């Protein structure tokens, strides 16, 4: 993604923009909901005041009359929030939208109840609810306007709609957070997929470009060999080394070509693959000045695991070469140990450990990202392709176990005896 002036938009900028957008939306939602809730509370208080005025106008000395109670209840039936009407003694006369049914408040119960010592049952429960509502909202007195006589109070609670509105901002924040998370991880997945596609395409193009010069070199070696005398052992030895290196180039090109293609896994002895890689690298490590030693600690009797030998040897070679480069960069001698053990719970584990300078903690979580490298002329392909080979093709796992600066770095590769189903990348499953 690019900005208006053509400069790339960083993932951090997108992440921060999404976060700021979510915060702004959440604050706007909270403000709007608070205003709506406040207006609803005002309307509730106004309506309750009207109830009190109606009660005052209707509550005459004959307030205990059944007809008056009927009028009260008919009016209160239209209330959509918790409400309790009490007389001057504080005894509930009727109620609505609470757990106690108004039908349970009989005339006999009403006139015999002492509010300071109510009988167990509905009246006791009502008085307890009245006390709770009064703690949150001041009851509205029922006063006859002409005489100022107090007939009782209207006690009311929060409207269910107001309670739901108070929850709306949190619901919106949760939804916005989920959308931002889905968007972020979706973009991250797309970017990762694009990077992988680019590197796979580069690998295949590299293999294609290497094909012609490798064939040409083979022809030149054949020509030189034909012109070399049979008894010229020194020159023939040199040509043998050149042919071995050209063969190695051919294998490397073949590896690049096979990246992005579905490999054919064959049960093989991992130890044999590792031995071949170590033999090749030992002959090409520096023998003067700084010295790098490779130690083999291969456990015998390991089960064969399904693998592509070319791709697995590439993975092991990458790990060993990275370890050797790190040791040589530190300007001191060093040792690399490559070990194999039984996997847990099954399969084979390969461990590569070196006593080089280690990997800084700040970049340890990025070393497998395509394109990330600390080398001046590196491509950042080695560990990224190694992860693809191990995890996508073999259904295994490769990881940095630990790295202590100045002490050691340890990588592990776990290969299962039976690759898990569906481990191939989607673009390769689809052809």
What's the DSSP call for residue 355? -
21-74 pLDDT, tens digit each: 767 777 777 777 777 777 777 776 676 666 666 555 554 444 445 555 565 556
With pLDDT > 70 as the criterion, what percentage of the chain qualifies?
74
Element (H, E) at 266: strand 266-268
Q: Is the distance from CB of 52 to CB of 142 less than 8 angstroms?
A: yes
What does 177-194 look like in DSSP terms, one character per residue?
A: HHHHHHHHHHHHHHHHHH
More confident of the two residues 165 and 228:
228
Residue 241 token pair: 């080394």
Per-residue buried b or exposed e for 399-413, using 16+ beta carbons within 10 Å of the residue's own CB: eeeebeeeebbbbbb
Instruction: Please check the confidence at residue 427 and state whether its pLDDT lies above 50.
Output: no
Residue 377, φ and ψ in degrees, nearest 5: -115, 25
Q: Is the distance from CB of 186 to CB of 31 less than 8 angstroms?
A: no
Q: Is the distance from CB of 117 to CB of 123 less than 8 angstroms?
A: no
Residue 285 token pair: 């490590």
373-423 pLDDT, tens digit each: 776 666 667 788 888 889 888 899 999 999 888 888 999 999 998 765 444
Element (H, E) at 72: helix 66-76
Position 251 scores a pLDDT of 77
Which has the minimum average pLDDT: 130-139, 152-161, 369-378, 409-418?
A: 369-378
The vertex-123 CA angle with 119 and 126, nearest 5°, equals 135
With pLDDT > 90 as the criterion, what percentage of the chain qualifies?
14
* Ramachandran area for residue 90 (φ above 0: left; ψ -120 to 50: alpha; else beta): left
Q: What is the mean pLDDT of residues 268-288?
A: 85
184-198 pLDDT, tens digit each: 777 777 776 766 676
Residue 391 token pair: 């995890």
Distance CA 210, CA 212 (A): 6
Position 47 scores a pLDDT of 66
Element (H, E) at 305: strand 305-307
Position 244 scores a pLDDT of 82
236-266 pLDDT, tens digit each: 888 888 888 888 788 777 777 776 667 788 9
214-224 pLDDT, tens digit each: 888 888 888 88
Residue 99 token pair: 């757990």
What does 146-174 look like in DSSP terms, one character per residue?
A: TT--EEEEEEE---HHHHHHHHHHHHHHH
> Residue 120: how many CB atoms within 10 A of its CB?
7
More confident of the two residues 418 and 347:
347
């Amino acid at each position: 993604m690019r900005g208006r002036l053509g400069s790339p938009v960083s993932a951090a900028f997108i992440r921060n923009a999404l976060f700021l957008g979510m915060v702004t939306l959440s604050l706007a939602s909270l403000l709007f909901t608070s205003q709506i809730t406040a207006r609803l509370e005002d309307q509730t208080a106004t309506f309750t005041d009207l109830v009190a005025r109606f009660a005052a106008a209707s509550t005459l000395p004959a307030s205990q009359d059944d007809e008056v109670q009927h009028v009260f209840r008919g009016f209160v039936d239209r209330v959509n929030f918790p409400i309790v009407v009490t007389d001057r003694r504080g005894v509930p006369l009727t109620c609505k939208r609470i757990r106690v049914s108004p039908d349970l408040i009989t005339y006999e119960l009403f006139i015999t109840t002492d509010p300071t010592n109510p009988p167990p049952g509905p009246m006791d429960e009502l008085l307890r609810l009245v006390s709770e509502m009064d703690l949150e909202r001041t009851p509205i007195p029922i006063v006859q306007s002409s005489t100022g006589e107090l007939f009782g109070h209207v006690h009311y609670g929060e409207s269910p709609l107001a309670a739901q509105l108070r929850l709306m901002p949190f619901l919106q924040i949760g939804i916005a957070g989920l959308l931002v998370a889905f968007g972020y991880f979706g973009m991250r997945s797309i970017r990762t997929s694009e990077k992988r596609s680019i590197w796979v395409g580069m690998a295949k193009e590299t293999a294609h470009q290497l094909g012609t010069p490798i064939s040409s070199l083979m022809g030149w070696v054949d020509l030189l060999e034909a012109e070399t005398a049979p008894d010229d052992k020194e020159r023939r030895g040199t040509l043998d080394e050149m042919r071995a290196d050209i063969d190695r180039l051919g294998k490397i090109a073949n590896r690049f070509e096979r990246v992005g293609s579905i490999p054919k896994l064959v049960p093989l002895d991992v130890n044999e693959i590792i031995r071949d890689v170590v033999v090749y690298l030992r002959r090409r490590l520096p023998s003067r000045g700084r010295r790098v030693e490779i130690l083999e600690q291969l456990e015998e009797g390991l089960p064969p695991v399904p693998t592509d030998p070319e791709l697995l040897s590439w993975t092991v070679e990458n790990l060993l070469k990275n370890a050797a480069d790190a040791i040589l960069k530190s300007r001191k001698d060093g040792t690399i140990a490559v070990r194999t053990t039984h996997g847990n719970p099954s399969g084979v584990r390969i461990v590569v450990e070196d006593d080089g300078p280690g990997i800084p903690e700040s970049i340890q979580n990025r070393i497998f990202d395509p394109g990330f490298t600390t080398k001046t002329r590196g491509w950042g392909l080695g560990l990224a392709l190694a992860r693809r080979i191990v995890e996508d093709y073999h259904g295994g796992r490769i990881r940095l176990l630990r790295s202590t600066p100045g002490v050691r770095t340890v990588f592990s590769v776990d290969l299962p005896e039976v690759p898990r189903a569906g481990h191939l990348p989607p673009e390769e499953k689809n052809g």
